[in-house]
Amino acid sequence: MADKILKKLNIKVWRQNNAKDKGKFETYTIENISTGSSFLEMLDILNNKLILEGKDPIAFDHDCREGICGTCNLYINGRAHGPDTEVTTCQLHMRKFNDGETITIEPWRSKAFPVIKDLIVDRNAFEKILQAGGFISVNTGGVPDANTIPVAYEDAEESMDAAACIGCGACVAACKNASAMLFVAAKVSHLAKLPQGKIEAKKRARNMIAKMDELGFGGCTNTGACEVECPKSISITNIARLNREYLKARFSE
Amino acid sequence: MSKFFTASIGRKLIMSLTGLFLVMFIAVHMTVNLFLIFDDSGELFNRAAHFMATNPAVKIMEPILGLGFLIHILWSFLLEYENWRARPVKYDKKNPEVASSWTSRNMLVLGALILVFLVVHIIQFFWVIKFNPESMKSVVIQGVQMEDTYLLVSDLFKRSVVYDIFYVIGGILLGFHLSHGFWSGFHTLGLSNKNWMSRLQIISRVYAIIIAVGFSVIPLYFLIKF
Ligand code: HEM
Ligand code: SF4
Ligand code: FES
């Protein structure tokens, strides 16, 4: 079956030259977009048009285009990664939109994610949080045999679920407080659930939270918006675990 | 420790502890208030109110309760302000309904409205009972002379439809605040996991409905019956 064609779309998009520029919205029209194309393909087509018209193309981040790298971050029509669930923007398709619609595209908005250009934000803050505690110490030497450290099935499952986080930042973007709690909770949880992660458990929770606060992310008020907008459906029960890990670490000081 | 309370989770812990403390208080408060509608002679409620006013344990709890309210309220404004600052440039187009409940996003709005209610409520009853008991009529129950608190409350509810509605709205606002606050408080303490989160959310709703109905039914009772 041939895909339907969207005859005309209005694309209202945030344009900002650099971090210092104030930025503003521009609206472009684009014609004949297949509902089978992805959202990023639609932007590619729009950019081609802009280039032919001698205009500056819209800068947006993307890499894998298969939902695993977490760079394609757009806030579309008031939602992180747009009007679909459990997908990143690159996995969003134009069949989710209607002919004649005005589509508003904004960058992630957070004090800790400053805009670099147009729709691209600097997500180094996540890197800094990981450097503060998202690691385990491993002794040097030969590679240990597989399965020498027993891990309970339930723990392995929960750990893997948390490890599915791709660091895209949709949780921050969707949160009314621009809080990074779901990201930090995922990173703390996937290590806390495994024996290998136990050694640094206390330091990890403390340092990652301290870094998160320092970088200007907001606090969590358990609205649950992050879980809904997370492309990997990371559960907010991980946030309860993070709270527990943190309080344990603090009170055993 | 000082670092603890400046960290986001530490600050949030204070909200949760004071909030859950208020949750316990409000359950006791509602139970006592319900005596108002189970005995039209007012004896039951007057005795309960007299007990609450004279009991040493309650006397000790009173300033702690005041402090609990104060910290909860001041802290909530501070935290919301800081959370607001975490997003200096706001979104142009928002569509938050799909991802979270209105209540969870508007705890401060609900809280501030409850605060307005609280001020009026305190002036109307608590202040009079505490600092101006001479203005109240007194009754003798089982040989003990006490203030007629029942008269103070029931008179207002019989007399004023406006205040009846005001108190019903107060109860409903509190119910909404608690429908999110109750489970959120446990979540913040880390007392939640994949089994207990949905259970806590259900308990939270049930508790909120009990509180909202329990408080609202009192003015409605006097409005309809008298
Ligand atoms: C009087 C004015 C009040 C104000 C201004 C207020 C404000 C707030 C705000 C803004 C929050 C959200 C904080 C957050 O989610 O981080 C909150 C949470 C909460 N409130 Fe209130 N509130 C008030 C009264 C009450 C009362 C009377 C109760 C209980 C009977 C209560 C119980 C709770 C609980 C249990 C939480 C959840 C704490 C958490 O999420 O950890 N509040 N309040
Ligand atoms: S928790 Fe989900 S939304 Fe947040 S960074 Fe990880 S994958 Fe993205
Ligand atoms: S481009 Fe890699 S997740 Fe979308």
| A38: phi then psi, degrees, rounded to nearest 5 | -80, 165
pLDDT in tens, B82-96: 999 999 999 999 999
> Domain total for chain B?
1
Average pLDDT over residues A183-202: 94
Ligand 1 pocket (Cβ < 6 Å) reads A 221-222; B 12, 15-16, 19-20, 22-23, 26, 72-73, 76, 79-80, 107-108, 111-112, 114-115, 118, 177-178, 181-182, 184-185, 188
Binary contact (B194, A224; C-beta < 8 A): no
Sign of CA dihedral A182, A184, A187, A191: negative
Q: Which of A47-51, B112-116, B193-197 has the lowest mean pLDDT?
A: B193-197
pLDDT in tens, B47-71: 999 999 899 999 999 999 999 999 9
Equal CATH topology for A5-106 and A124-251: no
Interface check for A6 against chain B (CB to CB < 8 A): the answer is no
Residue A167, ligand 2, Cβ within 6 A = yes
Instruction: Please report, for the domain that includes residue B181, its CATH number.
Output: 1.20.1300.10
Answer yes or no: is B184 within a domain: yes
User: B2 pLDDT exceeds 80?
Assistant: no
For ligand 1, pick from B17, B18, B21, B22 the residue to mutate: most ligand atoms within 8 Å of CB: B22
Burial class (CB in 10 A: 0-12, 13-18, 19+), B119: exposed
Q: What is the ipTM of this complex?
A: 0.92
- Domains in chain A: boundaries: 5-106, 124-251
Interface check for A192 against chain B (CB to CB < 8 A): the answer is no
CATH number of the domain at A5-106, please?
3.10.20.30
With the CA atoms of A191, A201, A220 and B6 taken in that order, what torsion angle do they form, in degrees rounded to the nearest 10?
-160
User: A92 pLDDT exceeds 80?
Assistant: yes
pLDDT in tens, A114-162: 999 999 999 999 999 999 999 998 888 888 888 888 999 999 999 999 9
User: A179 pLDDT exceeds 80?
Assistant: yes
Answer yes or no: is B95 within a domain: no
- The residue range of the domain holding B174 is 2-88+101-225
CATH number of the domain at A124-251, please?
1.10.1060.10
pLDDT > 90 fraction of chain A, expressed in percent and rounded: 91
Answer yes or no: is B194 within a domain: yes
Note the pLDDT of residue A1: 60
Binary contact (B189, A247; C-beta < 8 A): yes
pLDDT in tens, B126-163: 999 989 888 899 999 988 999 999 999 999 999 999 99
Note the pLDDT of residue B117: 98
User: B1 pLDDT exceeds 60?
Assistant: no
Is residue B207 a contact partner of residue B26, using CB atoms and an 8 Å limit? Answer: no
To the nearest whole number, what is the mean pLDDT of chain A? 95
CA distance A198 to A155: 13
User: A253 pLDDT exceeds 90?
Assistant: no
CA distances from B190 to A97, A230, B194 (A): 40, 21, 12
Binary contact (A247, B190; C-beta < 8 A): yes
Give, in degrees to the nearest 5, the angle at Cα A96 between B94 and A224.
45
